Structure 1
Amino acid sequence: MWPYCLLRMVCAFLLSVLPISVLAMSVTFINPGKSDEIYWVTATNSMAAAADNLNVKLEVLYAERDHLRALDFARQLAARSAQNKPDYVIVSNDYGTGAEVIRILDAAHIKTFLAFSNILNPEERQRILGPRQIFKGWLGSLEPKAEEAGYLTARALIERGEMANMRSSDGKLHLLVIAGDRSTPTSLKRNEGMRRAVAEARNVLVDQEVYGEWSREKAREQSTWLYKRYPQAKLIWAGNDLMAFGAMESWAASGGKPGQDAFFSGINTSAEALQALISGRMTGLAGGHFIAGAFALVMLHDYHHGKDFQDEGLELERPMFILFSTQEAQRFQSQFSDLNFHKINFRKFSKVLNPAVKKYEFSFRQLLQQTEGRK
Structure 2
Amino acid sequence: MQRYTLIRYVLLCWALLAVGSAHAVTVAFINPGKSNEAYWVAATQAMQVAARSLDWQLEVQYAERDHLRVLDLARSMVARPPAQRPDYVILSNDNATGAELLRLFDGSGIKCFMAFSRLSAADEAQLGGPRQRHKDWIGSLEPLAEEAGYLTAKALIQQGRSARAQAADGKLHLLAIAGDRSTPSSVRRNEGLQRAVAEAQDVVLEQTIYAGWTRDKAAEQADWLYERYPTARLVWAGNDLMAFGAMQALEKRGGTPGKNMWFSGINASADGMQAIQSGRLAALAGGHFIAGAWALVMLYDYHHGRDFADEGLQLEASMFVLFDPAMARKFEARFGQRYDSIDFRRYSKVLNPKLARYSFGFAQLLR
Q: TM-score, normalised by structure 1?
A: 0.92
CA offset at residue 24 of structure 1?
A: 3.6
Conserved in 2, the CA contact under 8 Å of 1:106 and 1:112?
A: no
Distance 1:219 1:14, change over 3 A: same
Deviates more, 1:328-337 or 1:273-282: 328-337
Give 1:20 shift: 11
- Confirm or deny: 8 A CA contact 1:214 1:243 kept in the other structure: yes
In the alignment, which residue of structure 1 is the partner of 2:71? Answer: 71
Consecutive unaligned residues in structure 2, runs of 5 or more: none
Name the counterpart of 1:119. 119
Q: Does 1:154 align with 2:153?
A: yes
Alpha-carbon shift at residue 99 of structure 1 (Å): 1.4
Q: Is the 8 A contact 1:21 1:54 kept in 2?
A: no
C-alpha distance in 2 between matches for 1:10 and 1:202: 66
1:14 is paired with a residue whose SS is: helix
- Contact 1:244–1:265 under 8 Å retained in 2: yes
Structure 1 residues 10 and 253: CA distance shift in structure 2, 3 A: closer
1:220 is the counterpart of 2:236: no
Superposed counterparts of 1:133-172, under 5 Å: 133-172=132-171
Going from structure 1 to structure 2, the CA distance change for 1:303 and 1:169 (only over 3 Å counts) comes to same
Distance 2:87 2:80 in 1: 12
Distance 1:120 1:132 in 2: 17
1:373 alignment partner in structure 2: none
Q: Match of 2:43?
A: 43
What corresponds to 1:33 in structure 2?
33
Residue in structure 1 matched with residue 348 of structure 2 by the alignment: 350
1:60-105 CA-to-partner distances (Å, cap 9, x unmatched) read: 1111111121111212221222211111000001111111111221
Counterpart for residue 11 of structure 2: 11
> Which residue identity is paired with 1:62?
Y
Q: Contact between 1:91 and 1:114, CA under 8 Å: does it hold in 2?
A: yes
Question: When the two structures are superposed, what TM-score results if normalisation uses the length of structure 2?
Answer: 0.94
Cα separation, partners in 2 of 1:221 and 1:308, compared to 1, 3 Å:
same
Query: In the alignment, does 2:250 pair up with 1:251?
Result: yes
Contact 2:98–2:119 (8 Å) recurs in 1: no
Residues 240 and 9 of structure 1: CA distance in aligned 2, closer, same or farther (over 3 Å): closer
C-alpha distance in 1, partners of 2:348/2:365? 14
1:1-375 equivalence runs, <5 A: 11-12=11-12, 14=14, 24-122=24-122, 124-337=123-336, 339-369=337-367
Q: Give aligned-pair identity as a percent.
A: 57
Deviations 1:29-81 (A, max 9, x none): 01111111111111000000000000111001111111121111212221222
Structure 2: distance between partners of 1:289 and 1:209: 23
Deviates more, 1:111-120 or 1:328-337: 328-337
Alignment check: 8 A CA contact 1:150 1:192 kept? yes
- Contact 1:287–1:323 (CA under 8 A) maintained in structure 2: yes
- Count of residues paired in the alignment: 362
Q: Structure 1 365/107 Cα, relative in aligned 2: closer, same or farther at 3 Å?
A: same
> Is the contact between residue 99 and residue 119 of structure 2 (CA under 8 Å) also seen in structure 1?
no
CA shift digits 1:297-342 (9 cap, x unpaired): 00000000000000000001110011112111112222322x3211
Secondary structure in 2 aligned to 1:107?
coil
